[in-house]
Structure 1
Amino acid sequence: MIPPKPAARPDRVSLWRHARLFRADILSAQPAKLYRAWMAEFRTPFFRSFLVNQPALVDLVLKERSGEFPKSDRVSEGLRPLLGQSVFVTNGETWRRQRRIIDPAFEGGRLRETYPAMLDAADAAARRLARAAGQGAEVEIEEIASHAAADVIFRTLFSIPIEDSVAQAVFHEFRTYQRSQPILNLAALVPWPRRLPRPHRRATRASAARIRALIAGMTARRQAQIDAGTAPDDLATKIMTTRDPETGARFSESEMVDQVAIFFLAGHETSASALSWALYLLARAPEWQDRVAAEARAFGGGFSDLSTLRVTRDVFRETLRLYPPVPMMVRAAARDTVFRDRAVPRGAQIVLSPWHLHRHERLWADPDAFDPGRWSTDAGRASARCAYMPFSAGPRVCTGAGFAMAEGVLLLARLLRGLRVAPVEGRYPVPQAHLTVRARDGIWLRVTPRGNASANARV
């Protein structure tokens, strides 16, 4: 089965045309040759950009010499009103200090501790979807997935369900922000004086300010609970009470606002994208959907039982291959270097594209096909080792990668245990990249009960 993919642009277009396409959707703005090229160079009047697909070059940038290729501010500045100085946008010692405090919260043992809250959110999502199924509804599944992913974040981070009034306010503001924030703003495409504030849409700035105010209230209340000795033992408490092992310092409340913003953006936005596409792919592949449902009904429900969801995990891996939530990452060359005998000047933008790497014609067999079976083959595993990075790689690999995989597999299993999803004729999703890979007009599915299985039952 070949799922939808954006049409590539012609190989040659004007700079102005390319800039307009890029701002609208970075996926369809790219030429088809990038699905088979090892490297491509793009020149503008203001900077040079190199997209690298060759596995050795990807490893060099992300792993072997990662310190020479810090995060580029051309993308991160667009997110600054919301994320401030969060771990997603910082570099150097600031980033290392933040990771020393954050990483312990996502270690294996902590994932086991947060699992019950994740399971509660998954079951709540299944009940909400079952109510729609009982009415024979056609549902916009991205909305359902966003709700579910937000519930997971709030339950595991702050021990509150999505129904909490503050959680509801943050959730709705994030949806407003997602619609108003392009992946690149004007300052990403032209030189911008450091002493001048970057231009941002008024709606984006206002939405970011409202989100940060809500998060600030949540972190202040949690700090008061910590001081009083009444704080729940969740991720927020763990992060707010962890000291940097080198300096002994903890995050200030303002720093914690930055970190919570990226936890929600990364943990909610990316998880919702992946879950939506996984449900759509299974709607188009009913034989795989039936296998996931059968596995889900046999699932014991405990954290250790997640390892039995092998088919579901392969489906989710394949979804992340075809629709990586973050389709491109941008680094900056900190000094002059050479890629494939070509000079790469200091300041050049280095683009690493999971979207192209995961569909590369020289690295994957039948790269555009949905085939979860590839993950149980030697060839598929070999391709994954050199050409699969949905959570980045190297020192800056997503600290919540294990959390995200457990969440995605669990949500898929719980949603499909008692429900069946099918495509809606005439509604074909077109992938577009803004903050994450979403569908241009949403993803519409018909949801019905699956036989006599109860979507509301709790194992």
Structure 2
Amino acid sequence: MKLFRQDILSAQPARLYRAWMAEFKTPFFRSYLLNQPQLVAEVLKKRPDDFPKSDRIGEGLRPLLGNSVFLTNGETWKRQRRIIDPAFEGGRLRDTYPAMWQAADAAVERLATQTGTPIEIEAETSHAAADVIFRTLFSIPIEHEIARAVFTEFRTYQRSQPILNLAAFVPLPRWMPRFFGKDTRASARIIRDLITQLCDQRQAEIAAGTAPDDLATKIMTTRDPQTGELFTTSEMVDQVAIFFLAGHETSASALAWALYLMARYPDWQDKVAEEAQALDSPDFAKVSKLKISRDVFRETLRLYPPVPMMVREATCPEAFRDRKIPKGAQMVLSPWHLHRHNRLWDDPDSFDPARFATENGKACMRDAYIPFSTGARVCTGAGFAMVEGVLLLSRILRDFKVTAVGAEPVPVAHLTVRSRSGIHLMLTPR
């Protein structure tokens, strides 16, 4: 339990990188890790309603995320997705791209003041990713007073909140109060109060006809096609909290590891930098031509998936691989293990962006690659994240050469996969 609360990855034995299925027993519940592609598809694609998201992971996040789309199930979740999904459709990515470009400009300018000296790159990618979220969601830069306050307080929340609450291990009845650290509750309350201010301001702008055409406006003015209802302010605060958590935290993790891998593999870094010279204007059409950067980012997501594990719950007894699975069992789908599985991927521990052009790579992309989950609950912002990650990686490497300094980073899982002691790089102008 101590290992799980400190870092999920440290508690995993090496044999899980070959197992199709494994069982983990506690006095309170059974947990099953599923690596066989057919079983992953059964849970995530074929029968998602029979395997809803487990409440155990969400127990520790509710002070911040409330009843957001990340934590809900059933009809509540389906209603939330009907309202949210239109904001992230393909055509909307073109509309949000200028804001992403502005955030990339700001990131490059900020990094230019820190060349020639070692920097902790995760702090910088967190800043850049948060800037993207605020610009695309509320049309404000991170320097905005409220945006800066949310970003600052979120770092306090990260330090105070373990990924698993006690209730993740010991089943508690719904009526029993959950226990969270004093700092966790205080930070969550501050963040939600700040987000409420942004939502109230936007609601007033929508009413006055002066709201910008950004993601917040799109979501707050989209009615559920079945009921005609809009999100209430409280519901919108829940959703903005998860947009910030998922959109900022996961993107920051992936970009930091991508830059580290580029420092480790300078030949690939040079290829990305050469390709990125074409980025001379905020032209959305040019993103599709960044094929090398896209494959590098894909390979980063394979080796260092920001969300290392997803947990579903069996709603009725099952039988997988001749094992009897009781109702209420936890079904663990682990990108961390699936993406490095010895029986699926060729040379799974090696960094090789070219693998996606091979037959093995193409097959594994279909069956064993789930950085954004898959099926009905695939991440709404998957397309957004791929554009953002590829753009930021390309823009940074267009202008800077990155070199690794200090000790090799050790991946650990907190809210996302981060480095235990940070990722330290040196940037020099190209």
Q: Secondary structure at the match of 1:28?
A: helix
Q: Which residue of 1 aligns with 2:326?
A: 345
1:65-122 Cα shifts (integer Å, max 9, x gaps): 1100001001111100000000000000000000000000000111100100011101
CA shift for structure 1 position 299: 3.1
Q: Is 1:403–2:392 an aligned residue pair?
A: no
Which of 221, 225, 234 is equivalent to 2:201?
221
Q: CA deviation at 1:193?
A: 2.2
Match of 1:13 in 2: none
Aligned length: 429
Residue aligning to 1:150:
130
In the alignment, what sits opposite 1:6? Answer: none
One-letter amino acid of the structure 1 residue matched with residue 112 of structure 2 = A
| Aligned mate of 1:110, from 89, 92, 114 | 92
- Which residue among 172, 176, 190 is the counterpart of 2:156? 176
User: Is 1:386–2:362 an aligned residue pair?
Assistant: no
How much is the aligned-residue C-alpha RMSD, in angstroms?
0.7
Q: What are the residue-to-residue correspondences of 1:161-240 with 2, within 5 Å? A: 161-240=141-220
Q: Distance in 1 between matches of 2:55 and 2:278?
A: 47
Contact 1:299 1:309 in 2 (8 A): no
State the partner residue of 1:244. 224
Give the distance between the partners of 2:231 and 2:217, measured in 1 at CA: 11
Question: What is the TM-score when the length of structure 1 is the normalising length?
Answer: 0.93
Alignment of 1:42-53 (within 5 A): 42-53=24-35
State the Cα distance separating 1:341 from its structure 2 match.
1.0
- Structure 2: state its 5+ residue gaps: none
Quick check: 373-382 or 409-418, which moved more? 373-382
Q: Give the aligned residue type for 2:310.
A: M
Structure 2 residue corresponding to 1:333, chosen from 306, 314, 337: 314
- Name the CA distance, whole Å, in 2 between partners of 1:326 and 1:26: 11
CA deviation after TM superposition for structure 1 residue 198, in Å? 1.1
Partner of 1:88, secondary structure, is: coil
State yes or no: 1:317 paired with 2:298. yes
Tell me, in whole angstroms, the C-alpha distance in 2 between the residues paired with 1:229 and 1:191: 48
2:280 & 2:93 partners in 1: Cα distance?
18
In the aligned structure 2, how far is the partner of 1:232 from the partner of 1:306? 24
1:59 aligns with 2:41: yes
Aligned to 1:433: 413
Cα distance in 1 for partners of 2:234, 2:47 equals 32
1:287 aligned partner: 267
- The question of whether the paired residues in 2 share the 8 Å contact of 1:299 and 1:308 is answered with no
SS across alignment from 2:11: coil
In the alignment, which residue of structure 2 is the partner of 1:359?
A: 340
1:316-362, Cα deviation, whole Å (9 max, x unpaired): 00000000000000000011111111111100000000000000000
Residue in 2 that maps onto 1:36: 18
Residue 7 of structure 1 corresponds to which residue in structure 2?
A: none
Q: What is the alpha-carbon distance in structure 2 between the residues aligned to residue 300 and residue 150 of structure 1?
A: 23
Measured against aligned partners, the alpha-carbon deviations of 1:29-65 in whole angstroms (never above 9, x if no partner) come to 1100000000000111000000000000000000101
Q: 1:427 Cα deviation (Å)?
A: 2.1
TM-score (norm 2): 0.99
CA distance in structure 1 between the partners assigned to 2:279 and 2:288 by the alignment: 10
Report the Cα distance in structure 2 between the residues aligned to 1:343 and 1:188, rounded to whole angstroms. 22
Alignment partners' CA distance in 1, 2:107 and 2:37: 38
